[in-house]
A and B are shown apart, each in its own frame.
Chain A
């Protein structure tokens, strides 16, 4: 006993030492305050539920807050002017969380006079109100009259339930009791829902008969004590109650329910924790020491990027409205004014996954509002070109490490009477702790921001199927669907009979899908028995933008090959579903016109996938994009040349053996000056290396070991060397007059060309003399003149110009864009490259057609050529004439 006492005392001392330091707290601005009920009386004395409008309204302009808060209104106020045709689904009744249908919640807000009621307004609050902050549809009807003051409707007794005012405490206290609040909502006790939010604080106590205020939580004056309730700024956890999976624990492995409602649309997890410390059963987890979200890790809070619209620190006019000359408008709202009337419109990005957000929106600082991407991306070639086409998120959200929905199938009901969900990013059921989670790579789709710039951004895509009925189709009510599948808690016998394919008396997960006409017919029949007409299956696909779960440079996509290769992420097919319920190909919905920018592909084996079409975005991704016929045409030309050369050479060898070698009179002349030779060989090397590096850029996977960005930089440098060399050569030829050699003389040119062609086709095999004597003053025969004329006047300049234009998209994108951008320039450049390659083959072969095979090449090396001496030869007429001319 003594021993343990001693031990305890020393332990206590230690604890004291540790605690001591943490007590020095930060000052608290918010004063203590009384909780007031609807009539303005202190709840401690009245015993009534608290009224946030009264309580907080003592100091803050709560009416102002309620009047514009989108969180509270949820689309109620715009329902009077709502036109379903502008909406995603024809059965939508509003443009906000209230009134807008989605296949995740499935439940359907019915019109008050609906004969087949799914959710009345009261039931909506009861069922879906847990993600609504109160006020709006939880307090008012469409006409703006408080529901408990309006006449009783048949569907809901508002006098009994009361209404739920906008719930300030949900976002402004440290530990709101969302469980108890939800309980109150589900019990139809809306009146007490806001008070129930404070149960965890200890200010209110739940008893069997109802709720009771705890006198110990109040001061003698009747104020609620600070240690029980102290309003705070919204923390990430507050936002996460509705908006996503948020947790702050860094070291404790968070046992995540993966693919749960709050993270399932995208897989975004807002947490500072290193992924390898999490409770998820992730593949290669030990190496994933990045955090779930770098902003959270670095102590950036939700409200830092999504601040109140009139917050004097964060407020900034959007680019559109800012004066060009003004960097900072110093005239700010006074802090006291802000605290009295804080705007509850929060800065936000455009969210194309919901209609409500299509309004001008996007008031948020985006990445470039805080970060300067120009600093720190120096390793990236074509920085600006990338930034113009690719959003920050595309590389800085390289992978989602938590699963997300892929397919939601409401055509069937699982044993727990909800839809069958398929998640991507998990090797099996993501809710099973033993399932390996491998995450997924988001699809990159074009997305337009408030400044009307379109860039690729990461998305998840969710496909959904559901039964609809009636003349103007709308989803079958959950209640009816349950009737079609269930009797009590078990599947109906007729359903089991059709769905149980293997006859074991159970419907397995694989069997629970409408993949045969019999199954479809059985359910349709059951639904018709319930009284529904024109029952059919419909499907839809929607894209969900991913903005969070960002990571820093170390973990961002740096591999060029992830886009610049055959296996490019851009335009890669994205799986939408493993099978199509009822064989129905779904339609598209949402703000992004998926039908316009890509195509769906149905494959009996792999299911349904979606592929973005790069051409719709004018995207040309080096290493990935290629026009197939350009490559084939170029390749065919080259192949034909190779065959021609081989045939010609073989015949030359055979005929030389047959006819013997005929000696012609030759002379040795100094053919090429030093500069000419230097110029030539520099050009040879440049073109050769350009072709190789260009090929690697065009098809990186064929020579995968070489680094793509290095090739791009070398290719660019080589291009400039080629350009400079060609330019200097032009000057040389102009100044020296050598240019004349390249200009064909019109007179007699045709005959001479025929003569030269005849030589290549006949004479060369007989060992005849060349038709024209090669001399210092006349190096080129007519066919060469023709070829070089084309080469130097068309091919080379065109290649240099297209190359320069492609190069210039970093600096002067407008010029190349005016000419059609990369989608035009890229293929031209490629085709010309093929022609170059073909020319080189032919050119190299023809150099061997001189006096002796190696003479031409030797001459280009040391300048001295062994040429036929025609001086003793009988004039052919044609030749003399041209000879005279040249001399």
Chain B
């Protein structure tokens, strides 16, 4: 006789298998989700509470750093190799100059405050180190790395001139509060780039501290911090702005939408078709500076006059400005690299000199149409030598105290080593910023007719198309790789 239990089990399993297996085979497969961006997010460990670990008392920033190094002996060494500390990049080849170039905040020239050279103490308030006063600064002292500026969670830590802690900062409280960098930590410098909130970037400003999802879907809806996307390894924070580098969007050290999102993330095939020629940001950042107006024009030539002061219109020390809120980006082909104006490059003062014009055109298969904030400037140049000059603005004899351009330029030339002929004038410049932050929820993305209509925002001819690609065909028909 057979085992009763055994038969029962075997029979049930067999019958169920006969029923269930065909059903599973017959059922249509549910469409797989296009992507699962959340699975690609970095896992961030919960930070150890340091309030009992940091004893103090701390009189200087350096003392705090030394305390940090007791347990994190490599930390300073790591930071000292990043551009946050060196303020310069590795040497790269510049096709425009046909030579290797080492560029960074240290020696770059822009059309905002122009250059840090001769103006160190003010500019280095945003340096992730202590005591950078002049060109003789020694980058090799471990204790000069400022841990707190990125890791302070007390909210009370502030830096002032030369990058030293501001007077009255409670260093002990700051040291005890440390944790992973928050939006406020990064924003302390990056939201205020250019000397104030929302000045430099159209897509990075104080509204990101506590954003609604309409301001930034990643930070507003999902409470991302900066380092969620700007992944960090050994204190090297990914990301490279074309403002201080020749730009290499295609390197490892970059942040891209496709780090988390699929290359073709839309359910709609027609939209996915766009990803070949259009950057994600182009549609998903319809307008920049949605809460705080950003500076789009700076005219240094009007400085020095006793006119009504208004930080958004005119300052005696800086000249006149134009700010714009809900600013529509400009669009251009961009293959990830930019041109670069370097100190001493000869200009044509009758033309607008682009400092970092994006490279790429319709024929470049690597290029896509990107949104840019273009900051236009009018700044001082040497009339005889035809290059932009680096005036001393900050400190003794600087323009901001003396309002004497000639003196400021002479002092500046001493520091920068770029000769000043004695004759100056003002010439127009432009500066390009990619618009990659403040991504909106998908229902605020651009729609077809935003570009493909009589009133569309893209100038097809200027981009190299024969006409609207809806009717004239894509770039492979129109001007591109025929």
Provide the residues of chain A in CB contact with B270, threshold 8 Å.
Answer: 298
Contacting chain B: which of A51-59, A584-592, A858-866? A858-866
Tell me the residues in window 277-330 of chain B with beta carbons closer than 8 Å to chain A beta carbons. Answer: 296-297, 299, 302, 305, 307-308, 313-314, 320, 322
Pairwise interchain contact A678-B1, C-beta atoms closer than 8 A: no
| A: contact size bracket | 35 or more
A798 at the interface (CB under 8 A from B): no
Digit string of A1-35 for contact with B (CB within 8 Å is 1, else 0)?
A: 01100110011011001000110101000000000
Q: Tell me the bound Cα distance from A381 to B313 in angstroms.
A: 64
Pairwise interchain contact A10-B297, C-beta atoms closer than 8 A: yes
Provide the residues of chain B in CB contact with A718, threshold 8 Å.
Answer: 19, 23
Chain A nearest Cβ from B21, distance in angstroms: 10
Tell me the residues in window 416-473 of chain B with beta carbons closer than 8 Å to chain A beta carbons. Answer: 443-444, 447-450, 452-453, 455, 459, 461-462, 467, 470
Provide the residues of chain A in CB contact with B299, threshold 8 Å.
Answer: 6, 10
Provide the residues of chain B in CB contact with A22, threshold 8 Å.
Answer: 459
Known: A7-B313, A14-B322, A861-B7. A250 touches B27 (CB 8 A): no
Name A's interface SS: helix
Q: Tell me the bound Cα distance from A276 to B27 in angstroms.
A: 38
B22 at the interface (CB under 8 A from A): yes
Known: A289-B443, A685-B15. A2 touches B307 (CB 8 A): yes
Provide the residues of chain A in CB contact with B8, threshold 8 Å.
Answer: 861-862
Digit string of A191-203 for contact with B (CB within 8 Å is 1, else 0)?
A: 0000000000000
Beta-carbon nearest neighbor of A714 in chain B:
B23
Tell me the residues in window 695-733 of chain A with beta carbons closer than 8 Å to chain B beta carbons. Answer: 710, 713-714, 716-718, 720-721, 725
Known: A7-B320, A299-B452. A721 touches B18 (CB 8 A): yes
Q: Tell me the bound Cα distance from A564 to B392 in angstroms.
A: 78
Beta-carbon nearest neighbor of A722 in chain B:
B19
Provide the residues of chain B in CB contact with A238, threshold 8 Å.
Answer: none
B4 at the interface (CB under 8 A from A): yes
Provide the residues of chain A in CB contact with B19, threshold 8 Å.
Answer: 682, 685-686, 689, 718, 721
Across the interface, A272 reaches (CB within 8 A) one of B1, B18, B449, namely B449
Provide the residues of chain A in CB contact with B30, threshold 8 Å.
Answer: 379
B132 at the interface (CB under 8 A from A): no
Known: A17-B376, A685-B19. A861 touches B11 (CB 8 A): yes
B16 at the interface (CB under 8 A from A): yes
A297 at the interface (CB under 8 A from B): yes
Q: Tell me the bound Cα distance from A297 to B4 in angstroms.
A: 69
Beta-carbon nearest neighbor of A677 in chain B:
B11
Provide the residues of chain B in CB contact with A681, threshold 8 Å.
Answer: 11-12, 15
Pairwise interchain contact B313-A21, C-beta atoms closer than 8 A: no
Beta-carbon nearest neighbor of B459 in chain A:
A21
Pairwise interchain contact A713-B462, C-beta atoms closer than 8 A: no
A167 at the interface (CB under 8 A from B): no
A291 at the interface (CB under 8 A from B): yes
Q: Tell me the bound Cα distance from A718 to B23 in angstroms.
A: 7
Provide the residues of chain A in CB contact with B455, threshold 8 Å.
Answer: 248
A378 at the interface (CB under 8 A from B): yes
Across the interface, A862 reaches (CB within 8 A) one of B7, B22, B267, B313, namely B7
Provide the residues of chain B in CB contact with A858, threshold 8 Å.
Answer: 4
Pairwise interchain contact A378-B28, C-beta atoms closer than 8 A: yes
Beta-carbon nearest neighbor of B428 in chain A:
A13
Beta-carbon nearest neighbor of B2 in chain A:
A862
Pairwise interchain contact A14-B268, C-beta atoms closer than 8 A: no
Known: A272-B449, A291-B447, A552-B268. A379 touches B470 (CB 8 A): no
Pairwise interchain contact A864-B1, C-beta atoms closer than 8 A: yes
Tell me the residues in window 52-69 of chain B with beta carbons closer than 8 Å to chain A beta carbons. Answer: none
Pairwise interchain contact A299-B314, C-beta atoms closer than 8 A: no
Q: Tell me the bound Cα distance from A725 to B22 in angstroms.
A: 12
B26 at the interface (CB under 8 A from A): yes
Pairwise interchain contact A299-B1, C-beta atoms closer than 8 A: no
Provide the residues of chain A in CB contact with B450, threshold 8 Å.
Answer: 250
A778 at the interface (CB under 8 A from B): no
A451 at the interface (CB under 8 A from B): no
A554 at the interface (CB under 8 A from B): yes
Tell me the residues in window 680-697 of chain A with beta carbons closer than 8 Å to chain B beta carbons. Answer: 681-682, 684-686, 689
Pairwise interchain contact B2-A720, C-beta atoms closer than 8 A: no
Q: Tell me the bound Cα distance from A291 to B447 in angstroms.
A: 9
B258 at the interface (CB under 8 A from A): no
B31 at the interface (CB under 8 A from A): yes
Tell me the residues in window 1-47 of chain B with beta carbons closer than 8 Å to chain A beta carbons. Answer: 1-2, 4, 7-8, 11-12, 14-16, 18-19, 22-23, 26-28, 30-31
A652 at the interface (CB under 8 A from B): no
Beta-carbon nearest neighbor of A860 in chain B:
B11
Chain B nearest Cβ from A727, distance in angstroms: 13
Q: Tell me the bound Cα distance from A553 to B11 in angstroms.
A: 46
Across the interface, A3 reaches (CB within 8 A) one of B15, B314, B461, B462, namely B314
Q: Tell me the bound Cα distance from A765 to B322 in angstroms.
A: 103
Provide the residues of chain B in CB contact with A379, threshold 8 Å.
Answer: 28, 30-31
Provide the residues of chain B in CB contact with A2, threshold 8 Å.
Answer: 305, 307
Beta-carbon nearest neighbor of A685 in chain B:
B19
Provide the residues of chain A in CB contact with B267, threshold 8 Å.
Answer: 553-554
A274 at the interface (CB under 8 A from B): yes
Pairwise interchain contact A721-B22, C-beta atoms closer than 8 A: yes
Q: Tell me the bound Cα distance from A681 to B4 in angstroms.
A: 16
Provide the residues of chain B in CB contact with A299, threshold 8 Å.
Answer: 448-449, 452-453, 470
Chain B nearest Cβ from A358, distance in angstroms: 35
Tell me the residues in window 289-304 of chain A with beta carbons closer than 8 Å to chain B beta carbons. Answer: 289, 291, 296-299
Q: Tell me the bound Cα distance from A291 to B313 in angstroms.
A: 39
Digit string of A233-263 for contact with B (CB within 8 Å is 1, else 0)?
A: 0000000000000001010000000000000
Q: Tell me the bound Cα distance from A128 to B308 in angstroms.
A: 61
Known: A14-B296, A21-B459, A681-B15. A250 touches B376 (CB 8 A): no
Pairwise interchain contact A274-B443, C-beta atoms closer than 8 A: yes
Chain B nearest Cβ from A774, distance in angstroms: 19
Beta-carbon nearest neighbor of B301 in chain A:
A6
Pairwise interchain contact A298-B22, C-beta atoms closer than 8 A: no
Beta-carbon nearest neighbor of B310 in chain A:
A3
Chain A nearest Cβ from B294, distance in angstroms: 13
Tell me the residues in window 853-887 of chain A with beta carbons closer than 8 Å to chain B beta carbons. Answer: 858, 861-864
Provide the residues of chain B in CB contact with A7, threshold 8 Å.
Answer: 313-314, 320
Of A21, A686, A714, which is in contact with the most chain B CB atoms at under 10 Å from its CB? A21
Pairwise interchain contact A6-B320, C-beta atoms closer than 8 A: yes
Tell me the residues in window 323-366 of chain B with beta carbons closer than 8 Å to chain A beta carbons. Answer: none
Q: Tell me the bound Cα distance from A17 to B372 in angstroms.
A: 14
Chain B nearest Cβ from A236, distance in angstroms: 10
Tell me the residues in window 364-416 of chain B with beta carbons closer than 8 Å to chain A beta carbons. Answer: 376
Pairwise interchain contact B4-A862, C-beta atoms closer than 8 A: yes
Known: A14-B297, A721-B22. A685 touches B459 (CB 8 A): no
Q: Tell me the bound Cα distance from A681 to B12 in angstroms.
A: 8
Q: Tell me the bound Cα distance from A248 to B454 in angstroms.
A: 10
Chain A nearest Cβ from B27, distance in angstroms: 5
Pairwise interchain contact A297-B449, C-beta atoms closer than 8 A: yes
Q: Tell me the bound Cα distance from A707 to B409 in angstroms.
A: 76
Pairwise interchain contact A678-B27, C-beta atoms closer than 8 A: no
Pairwise interchain contact B2-A863, C-beta atoms closer than 8 A: yes
Provide the residues of chain B in CB contact with A17, threshold 8 Å.
Answer: 376
Pairwise interchain contact A714-B27, C-beta atoms closer than 8 A: yes
Beta-carbon nearest neighbor of A680 in chain B:
B15
Known: A291-B447, A297-B447. A717 touches B26 (CB 8 A): yes
Q: Tell me the bound Cα distance from A739 to B234 in angstroms.
A: 79
Q: Tell me the bound Cα distance from A22 to B328 in angstroms.
A: 14
Q: Tell me the bound Cα distance from A727 to B308 in angstroms.
A: 97
8 A-B pairs with CB atoms under 8 Å apart are A248-B453, A250-B449, A289-B444, A378-B28, A684-B15, A725-B18, A858-B4, A863-B2
Sample of 19 more A-B contacts, CB < 8 Å, known A14-B376, A861-B7: A3-B305, A3-B308, A3-B314, A10-B320, A11-B322, A13-B297, A14-B297, A17-B376, A248-B455, A289-B443, A296-B449, A297-B448, A297-B449, A298-B270, A298-B448, A682-B15, A717-B23, A721-B22, A861-B4
Q: Which 7 A-B pairs have the closest CB atoms?
A: A289-B443, A717-B26, A717-B23, A681-B15, A862-B7, A298-B448, A21-B459
